[in-house]
């Protein structure tokens, strides 16, 4: 089983007000596509409730950086009390969503994704030595890059959501 080194745990972004669900989803999707990540969608549900829609989207962008390491970022987007609203801005009518947004972001670096270090006990011992003395300069760079990617994503999402405050 691959080892996971968590880089970011439970980073939250919350927002309440006007926004566009589809544009926010597209922003995050394009962000990871530009960085070369592939994506797996784990969950996409929409429930109509009396106070508005409840939408939950969960996906994991990932990138294999070497043959033994894989960067994974888990994003959970929860939209509640979502209602469609017609807004007029600069004499242009526009259809937006109103409600609450919550994003939860986790990021980890998985090592030994091919399980080649678990075949024999001597390999396991060698893996421990490699992880302690050989790999740290390389993995520290991967960890710093992932932390930077998550921080930039959070900044872009916050800037995007602040565009709708008026």
Joined together, the tokens standing for residue 164 give 């709708």
Cα 57 to Cα 81: distance, rounded to the nearest angstrom: 15
How much is the pLDDT for 86?
83
* pLDDT tens for each residue of 38-76: 999 999 999 999 998 999 999 999 998 877 788 999 999
* Closest C-alpha to 52, from 98, 6, 118: 98
Domain range annotation of the chain: 3-162
* pLDDT tens for each residue of 111-120: 765 566 566 7
Give the predicted TM-score (pTM) of the model: 0.82
């Amino acid at each position: 089983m691959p080892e996971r080194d968590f880089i970011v745990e439970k980073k939250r972004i919350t927002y309440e007000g006007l926004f566009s669900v589809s544009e926010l989803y597209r922003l995050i999707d394009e962000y990871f596509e530009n960085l070369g990540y592939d994506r797996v969608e784990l969950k996409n549900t929409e429930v109509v409730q009396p106070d508005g829609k409840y939408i939950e989207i969960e996906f994991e962008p990932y990138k294999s950086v070497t043959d033994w390491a894989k960067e994974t970022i888990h994003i959970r987007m929860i939209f509640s009390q979502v209602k469609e609203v017609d807004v007029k801005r600069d004499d242009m009518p526009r259809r937006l969503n109103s409600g609450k947004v919550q994003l939860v972001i986790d990021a980890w670096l998985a090592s030994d994704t091919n399980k080649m270090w678990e075949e024999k006990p001597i390999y396991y011992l060698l893996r421990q030595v490699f992880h302690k003395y050989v790999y740290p300069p390389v993995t520290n760079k991967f960890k710093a890059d992932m932390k930077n990617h998550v921080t930039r994503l959070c900044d872009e999402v916050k800037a995007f959501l602040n565009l709708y405050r008026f």
